[in-house]
Structures are given as C-alpha cells and as structure tokens.
Structure 1
C-alpha cells in the first residue's frame, strides 16, 4: 500500500466509524506500524484539512464532527498517476506554449504539492521536451474562442487571410474539429459561403466572432472520409497511390514509420523498401519525398515522378546560378 492509498484508507476508516478507532486497529487496517499511522494522520489533518482528533479517555482517533463537514476530494491518484498527469500537462503545454498554461496552473500546483506531501520530492518535469520544427511564430489568439465553439457546437464568423493568394475574406463557418498537425493548429469546418468542408490555418484567422446559431453537425464517418483518407493536411478522397522505393540503408528507418493510416509496405529482395500510400494532391508529399534525396525513387504514378523530376531540375538550375554569383 503506497502513501496516498494509505491516507485514503485512513480517511474512509475514520469517516465510516461513529466511534473512535484505536491506533492498533489502524495499524492492522493500514498494514503499517504506529509511526506510519501517525504520519498518515498528520497528512490527512494538515494537507486535506480533515480535523482528526485523539480522544485520550477512549484511546482512539475520530473526525471532529463539531468542526463541520470536511469532505476530501473524491479523485484519488497514486504517485504514478500523478506523475503521468504532470507529464501529460507538460507535453500539452509544449504543443503551444501559453495556450493552456494559465488554465491548468492551479491544478498543476496542487499535483506538485501533493507529490511533495506524500514524499515525491522535487520533480524535474522540464527534462521532458518536445522539439518543434516548422511551428509558426504567430498562433491564433482566438484559439480559446474557436475551441469553445467546436465543443459547444456554435457557428463562427471569421476573418481569414489566405496565404495561397494573399486574399482576405469573411466566412461564416460551422466548426467541426480542431487538428494539431506538424506543430500547427487547423480548424476543420463547414463553410456556409462555399457550401463545402474547408480547413483553416488558425494563424491565418484574424478575427473570430461566436454567433448565436447552432453549428451544422456532420458525422465522424463523413469527416474522416473527407479529411483523413488523403495524404497530409490536404482534404478530399484520394484518387492516386504513390509507390516509393527507399534504399536498403534508408529502409532501416522508413520501414517503421507511419506516413498514412492506410499505407502498405514491404521489404524487397535487394533490401530496399517499397512504400505505397494514397494521396490526392502532391504538394506536401513532394516535399516529404525530396527530403530523402537520393535515398528514394518514385516508381508510380508517372505524374508524381515527373513532378519530382521538374522540382529537382528547378533546384539544380537555381543552385547553379547561385554558385556563379558566389564565385563572381
């Protein structure tokens, strides 16, 4: 029985008894010695504020009912569970610094105090870190409002600046899901202007107003079919399958990677690795292919192979020009 379980058992034992309980009885119930019983009583009294008193004439401990009702929290956690919650809080805070830090601050401090009380010592949770690659500097200040609209199923009117064509627009949307993808947040929503599902990058949302109208609800199957079947952040049902061959050296890593939930892959006779995955638009997939350089070859479809070839050709020309400028 760990320390927190012991305190919980002690509270239940005293709270359910109408008469004082002797130290001997508590030692048997808590499976410990008298000094440990006294320590558990001290924790129950000092940390949880339960007025435990000792009645010398009856040789037992009791909760002082005259001091009023003293109900301790109904959520009981052992040290391992507290550790897990603090680690989860650290990871969540690292997803977007400042996003939930203030809201979870009091709860986090109570967990740390509880760990200290039960002998957990100083915990170095800053030793857990997430390295962000590609997180945009400005995440939306409207995140809390947008998240609330998603959960409460309310419509939003948003001012959106599209980077693709540098245009600004006002949209009325029915939020469906918040998505955290490659260190950035996105809103999946039904756009009432376009009458279709759209994905909005939160850092491009310049204004957000909650409307007094219920959001249009869409079932999970429809949302998954639209958002989760093609490759990457681009939505829509896939209409092509990419076939990639990785060198035997690179296969040591790629064979254990998940690029897409519906991917298939297997080792080839020469030690290379074949990866097949569905996609609709090639822009994001193209970038992921190029980062492997000569360790990957696109086998199918021809359109994707040609897109890689053209991009490599443009890169080569650009770097040849750059080298001339540097040499000059």
Structure 2
C-alpha cells in the first residue's frame, strides 16, 4: 500500500474541486512519476473507497460527488501536521501568563476542540501521542525577554556571559542578529564587537542583559547563512574539514535515514556498512554525536578528528579502570 502521506497529498489536491485536474498536473504538483501516481490512484479507490473518476470529457480526475468533497476515514494528518498540532497544544498549556493570553486563548480552545473530535479519537489523542523534548536544559532563561526584544527591535546589548567550558564570565557588547531554537534550547546569533566576529551564545548562559540605545550592526542574511549554517550543528561556521564516518551494517539501518547536514554525502559499502561525510567547523558537537554510537561507528577522516574521538574514548575507559582498581580491595562483610 502507498504511504499515507502520499495518499493524503493526492487527496488534498482533489478534495473540494468542482473541476478536473490532469494527470500531468498531479504528477508535477506531487513531484512523482506516472507509475507512482497510478498506484496512488488505485489505492485511493480500492483501499479507501474514494469515488475518484477520470472525466474523459474534461481530460482530468475528480471526485464524483455533488460538491467535489469526499471525507477519508481515519486520521488524515501528515507527520509534520501531527507534530505541529501537539507541539502547539503542549506549548500553549505550559505558557506562563503574559501579554498574549487573550490573543492565544481562542487558538488554544480551537486546538483542544480539534483534539476532542471523533476524527482524532474523541479525546484519546492526548493519551496516545507524546512530544518528548530532547536534551532540553531546564535552567530559567531570565533574560530571554530582553534578548528577544533586542533581536526584534535591532538594538545592541551589553551582556554578562558565562562560558561553561572555561567556567568564566565575561562582559560583551553584542549586536543580536537572530534567535535559534535548536535541540530544545535557545541560542543567540550575534556580532561580538570585542571579537569583531559572529558568535553563538546559549541564552541560559547570559547572566545579565542590558539594552543600549545604539542600533545593532546588521549583517546580511547571506552572511549569516554562510557563516552559521554551512557546517555541522550549532557550532557552525565556515567548514574547515569534512568528517567521514563509517557505521556498522546494523547501525546503518537507522543512520541512513538521518539528516546530519544539508550538504552531507553518503554511500553504502559492499559489506553493508554505511559511510557518511559531513562538513564541520568546530568538532565539539560532532564528537558528542559520534560518541553516542559507541562501537557502531568509526572515524575514517580527518586524522585530527579521529584522534580527538580516541582521546575521549580512552578517557571514558580510564574512568572504569580506576573504578575497578578502587573496588579490587573490597571484601564481603566489611565496610
């Protein structure tokens, strides 16, 4: 049977149309081949009983109903729509009281009503679908409002920023460019006037934020995208190297479906292993993602990245070796 998302996209093109739509137009809008369109049409008719006909007089397809509408049985939301619906519902329920209460209340009411409909299981949706945050840091981002206001109003900020790696706090004058929500945490892309370059700041690490009267230095979107979106993860920048990773045939079943970077390259090896190449600027986050795959991944290149991963793995092993030696003198019944 065809994928539900594909069938739904075809249905949306047909539903409610009083005129026909040609095969060629359907193929172009859905960006699919003639053979795949034929399979979708067959499944829509046979599996879901859709009154889909080809009108020879007008040379196109339509639903054979008085108004061109035909309801499909069951849940007809795409994965993206379902995620958006439940994410909005979760956010609205957990929103702190604020200026948007009156504006957002009707939206919340409509979402809640939709989730209670027969179409979505008459109230079962809340119990059957979950949206789980990933690696969200729970610190109170006290200065988010000041930061967001400076971003939107194009004003400079003086911030006290805590660097976790060095465990130091420094004062910076910055020109905020944009906010980024990544892996359930907020980051600020900004021009640092001390360093005279673009920097990425974790918003929860901003200890103090003071708005200045001076307008922010504004960088073109092309510059921001080139310097902050062209390499791996939140530590983006101009790529300095390309990481080549080789995954075991077992782990490849998952990794082959993942998008690590828009410009990644990949290939399957003859023995079933999967090779992935991604550009990166800083290796910090890339190393973290490599380590989580343990023995199922090998760094092939570059040598510097391979050595950095090896150092981390050796350090991890040493933790357990120290633990073993500390426990070697343990005697039952004592201590």
TM-score normalised over the length of structure 2: 0.65
1:174-253 equivalent positions in 2, closer than 5 A: 174-253=175-254
CA separation of 1:84 and 1:196: change in aligned 2, threshold 3 A:
closer
1:94-109 equivalent positions in 2, closer than 5 A: 97-98=94-95, 102-109=98-105
Report the CA distance between 1:86 and its aligned residue: 5.6
Matched, 1:287 2:288: yes
Deviation digits for residues 179-231 of structure 1 (CA, Å, limit 9, x no counterpart): 11222111110111221111111111111122222111111110111111121
CA separation of 1:103 and 1:265: change in aligned 2, threshold 3 A:
farther
Report the CA distance between 1:109 and its aligned residue: 3.2
Distance in 2, Cα, partners of 1:153 & 1:182: 25
Distance in 1, Cα, partners of 2:261 & 2:141: 27
CA separation of 1:115 and 1:265: change in aligned 2, threshold 3 A:
closer
Cα contact 2:115–2:125 (8 A) shared by 1: no
Cα contact 2:231–2:281 (8 A) shared by 1: yes
Distance in 1, Cα, partners of 2:88 & 2:239: 36
Distance in 2, Cα, partners of 1:254 & 1:143: 35
Distance in 1, Cα, partners of 2:190 & 2:236: 12
Three-state SS of the structure 2 residue aligned to 1:155 is strand
Deviation digits for residues 246-296 of structure 1 (CA, Å, limit 9, x no counterpart): 111111100010111111112111111110001122222111111111111
Distance in 2, Cα, partners of 1:107 & 1:125: 25
Deviation digits for residues 79-104 of structure 1 (CA, Å, limit 9, x no counterpart): x9x9998645225458xx546x6454
Structure 1 residue aligned with 2:132 = 131
Deviation digits for residues 30-81 of structure 1 (CA, Å, limit 9, x no counterpart): x9xxxxxxxxxxxxxxxxxxxxxxxxxxxxxxxxxxxxxxxxxxxxxxxx9x
- Across the aligned residues of Structure 1 and Structure 2, the Cα RMSD in angstroms comes to 3.0
Structure 2 residue aligned with 1:165 = 166
CA separation of 1:159 and 1:115: change in aligned 2, threshold 3 A:
closer
CA separation of 1:102 and 1:226: change in aligned 2, threshold 3 A:
same
Three-state SS of the structure 2 residue aligned to 1:249 is helix
TM-score normalised over the length of structure 1: 0.67
Distance in 2, Cα, partners of 1:206 & 1:246: 41
Structure 2 residue aligned with 1:110 = 106
Cα contact 1:91–1:129 (8 A) shared by 2: no
Structure 1 residue aligned with 2:262 = 261
CA separation of 1:214 and 1:116: change in aligned 2, threshold 3 A:
closer
Deviation digits for residues 303-325 of structure 1 (CA, Å, limit 9, x no counterpart): 21122222222222221111222
Cα contact 1:87–1:125 (8 A) shared by 2: no
Three-state SS of the structure 2 residue aligned to 1:234 is coil
Report the CA distance between 1:138 and its aligned residue: 0.9
CA separation of 1:110 and 1:93: change in aligned 2, threshold 3 A:
closer
CA separation of 1:250 and 1:222: change in aligned 2, threshold 3 A:
same
Structure 2: gaps spanning 5 or more residues: 1-65, 67-76, 330-335
Cα contact 2:89–2:108 (8 A) shared by 1: no
The higher radius of gyration belongs to 1
Distance in 1, Cα, partners of 2:175 & 2:326: 51
CA separation of 1:156 and 1:242: change in aligned 2, threshold 3 A:
same
Structure 1: gaps spanning 5 or more residues: 1-30, 32-79
| Runs of 4+ in structure 1 over 6 Å off | 82-85, 115-119
